[in-house]
């Protein structure tokens, strides 16, 4: 639905065939903005008033009060955004022209076409494709599980 306008925007900005064309559309998703804003709205105002009494700037409040109080939702948004952009196939296929710059998911699909029936290398590539998401989940599992348990209450 948004592929054609995004492509036109990336082309007008001169970002086609660059890494920024793949990163920018996923940097701020509507779902991520909604989740983080709802989490920030749920933060008690007493913390903000106390920070203002201590003469904290807006960035200081964001960095020292809001971010530590909302670590779990930030970890969930980061993990879901990374996994959705990492596994995306269509958008990098459209905006990238150089084979050297294509992400692994696009190269894996090309690899499966060239080897057709022999699925061993394709399955090994799928495992390698999955590893960064699993490693990120292992690193952030504490915050992820905290956020999931908070959403069930």
- pLDDT tens per residue, range 112-131: 665 555 677 778 888 888 89
CA 54 to chain centre: 34
Distances (CA, A) of 2 to 8, 15, 19, 63, 95: 10, 17, 19, 33, 14
pLDDT in tens, 74-106: 888 888 888 888 878 888 888 888 888 888 888
Where do the domains of the chain lie, and which CATH numbers do they carry?
2-151 (1.10.3720.10)
The pLDDT, as a whole number, for residue 57 is 92
Question: How confident is the model over 132-142, as a mean pLDDT?
Answer: 87
Q: For residue 121, what are its two tokens?
A: 């290398």
The pLDDT, as a whole number, for residue 113 is 62
Per-residue pLDDT, 82:
85
pLDDT attached to residue 40: 92
For residue range 15-55, list pLDDT tens digits in order. 898 888 888 888 778 888 999 999 999 989 999 999 999 99
Average pLDDT of span 126-140:
87
């Amino acid at each position: 639905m948004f592929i054609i306008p995004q492509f036109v925007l990336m082309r007008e900005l001169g970002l086609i065939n660059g890494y920024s064309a793949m990163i920018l559309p996923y940097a701020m998703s509507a779902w991520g903005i909604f989740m983080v804003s709802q989490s920030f709205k749920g933060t008690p105002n007493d913390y903000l008033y106390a920070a203002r009494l201590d003469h904290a700037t807006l960035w200081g409040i964001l960095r020292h009060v809001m971010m530590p109080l909302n670590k779990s939702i930030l970890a969930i948004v980061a993990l879901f955004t990374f996994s959705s952009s990492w596994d995306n196939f269509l958008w990098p296929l459209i905006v990238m022209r150089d084979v050297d710059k294509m992400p692994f998911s696009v190269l894996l699909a090309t690899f499966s076409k060239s080897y057709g029936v022999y699925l061993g290398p394709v399955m090994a590539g799928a495992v390698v494709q999955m590893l960064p998401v699993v490693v990120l989940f292992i690193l952030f599992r504490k915050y992820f599980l905290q956020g999931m348990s908070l959403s069930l209450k």
